[in-house]
Amino acid sequence: MKRFRTPNKIAPSEITPKDIYLNRRHFMQGGAALAAGLSATGAHALVQPEGGSATPSGPDWLERKVAAASTTAYGQSEKPAPYSAASTYNNFYEFGMSKSDPSRHAGDFTTDPWNVTIGGECEVKGTFALEDILKGVNLEERIYRLRCVEAWSMVIPWIGFSLSELIARFKPLSSAKYVEFITAERPKEMPGQRSVFSTIRWPYREGLRMDEATHPLTLMAVGMYGDVLPNQNGAPLRLVVPWKYGFKSIKSIVAINFTETMPETSWNQIAPHEYGFYANVNPDVDHPRWSQASERRLPGALFGSNRIDTQMFNGYAEEVASLYSGMDLRKWY
């Protein structure tokens, strides 16, 4: 396994001041034993909800597990966006097309209990409760850049575990070349799914090639900012692939399938000339309707756009470029 190389540092003028970090929320009420455990392992920082953002909540067992996550060297030179930005400005079209719709409409989305169905080309199949999936899993915090295909970006501290660890437990066959992910489909709880203006064929689908899925950087996240995931950010289980455009990091996963052939993915179905299967961040390959050479780092400055140059593979080229050796990245965009 390659050691993680901290990506190029972002200039201080382009990042959120470090004083947004505050002590972790999860010195749980009445949880003296947990507090002692965190003291022994070293509790890490948390960006608190601010500006009216809804405080995330999950089952007690998941909150305790997320609160005990360990720190890592991933992204320690980065400074995250405020929680209020990351939790109120995002795309989750199941809850509406506006950036603010997910935070406004996802509050009543049911995430407990939560089951994930595993199928396809693997030895171990079935439907598994999230609590069982996470048994024996040690969570860790990783600070990653998130680059949207719309040419904006944030830095977010995620809490999760390597997808490769999950994949190994289900013993994919040699015929499994890809991994397909499917989001929950609940029109009664997800107003975007019942909208007459939606162009997406629900449920939302994404996929990775097996070597991408098992790469050390690929994360299954159950938390962010030291807390469980808010509903609007993909609770209770989402994918984070930091070198790809954000739409690849599918939210609220209910099914994972191992496939021999490349799975259909939602945005590639809708507009294949605009959204390829790989969707690697590439400043040299423009979207048909806008440039990808630069991005707007959020939150922006009061009197400036906070524009920065986009890095190949979102700054993770040293770790992932070898996955695409010999591929024409203009053709396989």
Distance of CA 149 to the CA centre of its chain: 14
Tell me the pLDDT tens digit for each residue of 95-144: 999 999 999 999 999 999 999 999 999 999 999 999 999 999 999 999 99
Lowest mean pLDDT among 51-65, 155-169, 244-258, 269-283: 51-65
Backbone φ, ψ for residue 270 (5° rounding)? -70, -45
Backbone φ, ψ for residue 318 (5° rounding)? -60, -30
d(CA 225, CA 108): 21
**pLDDT bucket at 4, cuts 50 / 70 / 90:** very low
User: Does residue 291 surpass a pLDDT of 80?
Assistant: yes
**pLDDT bucket at 12, cuts 50 / 70 / 90:** very low
Backbone φ, ψ for residue 287 (5° rounding)? -65, 145
pLDDT at res. 54: 57
Q: Which residues, including other chains, have CB under 8 Å from residue 107's CB and lie 6 or more apart?
A: 54, 231
C-alpha closest to that of 155 among 318, 6, 41: 6
User: Does residue 90 surpass a pLDDT of 90?
Assistant: yes
Amino acid at 287: H
Strands 294-297 and 219-224: unpaired
Distance of CA 33 to the CA centre of its chain: 30
User: Does residue 15 surpass a pLDDT of 90?
Assistant: no
pLDDT at res. 300: 83
For 153-172, what is the mean pLDDT? 98
For 162-187, what is the mean pLDDT? 98
**pLDDT bucket at 3, cuts 50 / 70 / 90:** very low
**pLDDT bucket at 13, cuts 50 / 70 / 90:** very low
C-alpha closest to that of 231 among 189, 193, 262, 273: 189
Tell me the pLDDT tens digit for each residue of 49-65: 343 345 678 999 999 99
Structure token pair of residue 282:
């590439």
CB of 250 closer than 8 Å to CB of 229? no
Preceding peptide of 59 cis, ω within 30°: no
Amino acid at 202: W
pTM: 0.85
Average pLDDT, the chain: 87
For 43-53, what is the mean pLDDT? 38
pLDDT at res. 302: 66
For 247-270, what is the mean pLDDT? 98
**pLDDT bucket at 309, cuts 50 / 70 / 90:** very high
Structure-model confidence comparison of residues 144 and 35, the more confident one: 144
Tell me the pLDDT tens digit for each residue of 185-230: 999 999 999 999 999 999 999 999 999 999 999 999 999 999 999 9
C-alpha closest to that of 118 among 300, 264, 278, 253: 253
Q: For residue 279, how many other CB atoms are within 10 A of its CB?
A: 21
pLDDT at res. 57: 81
Domains of the chain, earliest start first = 33-324 (3.90.420.10)
